[in-house]
Amino acid sequence: MSRARVARRIAAGAAYGGGSIGLIGVAAVGIVLAEAQLAKRTVGTGTAPLPPATDGLYGRAFGTEDPLRLALLGDSTAAGQGVRRAGQTPGALLASGLAAVAERPVALRNVALSGARSDDLERQVSLLLAQPLGPPDVCVIMIGANDVTHRMPATESVRLLSAAVRRLRTAGAEVVVGTCPDLGTIEPVYQPLRWLARRASRQLAAAQTIVVVEQGGRTVSLGDLLGPEFEANPREMFGVDLFHPSAEGYATAAMAVLPTLCASLGVWPEPDRLEPGRHEDMLPVAKAAAEAAKQAGTEVTGARAPWALLKHRRRRRLTEAAEAEAGTGAAQAPVASGETPEGRGEPLPQDSPRA
């Protein structure tokens, strides 16, 4: 069965309350469990630092009035576990990058929780919508890895994500989802678990894309962006626990998400029209989702149902984006670091402690 058909079946099962559609065959469970026990002995032998606090105001070179409001939701990847400095986290990188491109300050709120699965998104969304200032302008969600490793049924996983995106869109927020990363790139994981993890990750990523686009959000494929690069440079891309990304790994992911984040707010300098020379196309949603799961950093956004736009936006290093778009240089509009001299975004008075 093609990946597009599998993804559509998972999404349909989530929408109509279908049974548990597993990500791997029952016959493979015994092998997977044996391989997983071996992998656990290696993965996590190092201790990943707790995610640094990142809530605050970024891009103060553009003032402090009327900031764009950015929120991050999801698991340890969204929280930034594995690095020690706030400026190395995806939230700080995206907030400072958005500030440079939009030439406006950005207020960041991160409610992501290490170890979270999709069933925690309801709590995270409620935290954001309960803020006195109302919903954020744009939300970035990174979720799915823990759903795969804890064998959450794919239909349940995408149903929960769909509900979260629907609540945020109904409240007026733009939503960008970084789909499930490629777990087949984790260095200590060997065959056949590596193949099964990659297959499960891609199936879930494709199904996530379908339900997010149907709710009016956008997705960016992280799996095949990070896959080859992490596989080729695992010592650079993974942190000390060999599971969470390193600072360089997070920067790679943030470079992929930033163009779509900016485009969702209408501030990305490139046009939204399709460029066939870059293999961009308009495809049925399920087929676009399957293609995105295979292609590095691919964006999928809805068009007229049942069609979706498949785009490959140009990515630049965040420091280069800051200098090109802000025209002020990294010293005045830090984008790669996202830091004040104290090493983090300046706290906002209305921010409550992170979850």
For 191, counting Cβ atoms within 10 Å of its Cβ (0-12 exposed, 13-18 middle, 19+ buried), the class is exposed
Q: Under DSSP, is residue 284 helix (H, G, I), strand (E, B) or coil? A: strand
Query: At 194, which helix (H) or strand (E)?
Result: helix 193-214
Interatomic CA distance for residues 316 and 113, integer angstroms: 28
First to last CA, the chain: 41
SS3 content of the chain, % helix, strand, coil (to 5): 45, 10, 40
Supply the residues annotated as catalytic: 76, 241, 244
Residue 329 to residues 249, 279, 320, Cα–Cα distance (Å)? 23, 33, 9
- Beta-ladder partners of 67: none
Say how far apart CA 262 and CA 319 lie, in whole Å: 16
